[in-house]
Chains A and B, each alone.
Chain A
């Protein structure tokens, strides 16, 4: 079984559309994250959730809204997609909470292309 899975793997859509990316983990971890990797491969955290509670919310447009229906899932909904949203989005999980030393495990990524 894949520990951290994301769907879809590829997403091609038009500007202005609304889309969602799903993340599921079967590691029993408490904390889940979304990262964005741009075309230059630079990775930056967007959000983190601990036990369904939002912990980290970096400076991300409010068109991006994470939703955690339960501890094993963290979905990313994006409204009114823009060209600049094209990137690879990675979900990650860790067992920690707030201990700050726990390894984060990444999903395979979702490549979003906005036309």
Chain B
């Protein structure tokens, strides 16, 4: 079946550091790929998405590129802020079903 493997957390970084959260997937066919973010005490918000190979999703300074050859969708941000502290979920969508990774808790310290 479909699956998403995400970098284990928690991840702690200093403000303005570079962020990478790794995500790889296994799926039959050509899924769409997503990053969702969950801020403390809140629901899931879509951060960015990519629907086909080589697409780059971007939002709020975050980027991820759909790499079919490596089945990856790593999340990056050049300079993180304290307000980026949250849990980040990588997910794939195939046959209407979203399959999530286990989530990566990110904490940014000033």
Contacts and interface: CB of A to CB of B under 8 A. Distances in A.
Interface in B39-58: 42-46, 49, 51
Interface residues of A, number: 29
Interface residues of B, number: 25
Interface string A78-115: 00000000000010101011101111111111000000
B100 A44 contact: yes
Contacts of B94: 100
B98 A104 contact: yes
Contact of B102 (A40, A50, A92): A40
Interface of A: 31, 33, 35, 40-45, 48, 50, 55-56, 90, 92, 94, 96-98, 100-109
B89 interface: yes
A100 to B, nearest CB: 6
Contact of B97 (A45, A90, A97, A106): A45
Name B's interface SS: strand
A33 B100 CA distance: 14
A107 B45 CA distance: 9
Interface string B48-90: 0101000000000000000000000000000000000001010
A45 B43 contact: no
Contact of A101 (B32, B44, B45, B89): B32
Nearest to A108: B43
A48 B46 contact: no
A41 B102 contact: yes
Contacts of B95: 98, 100
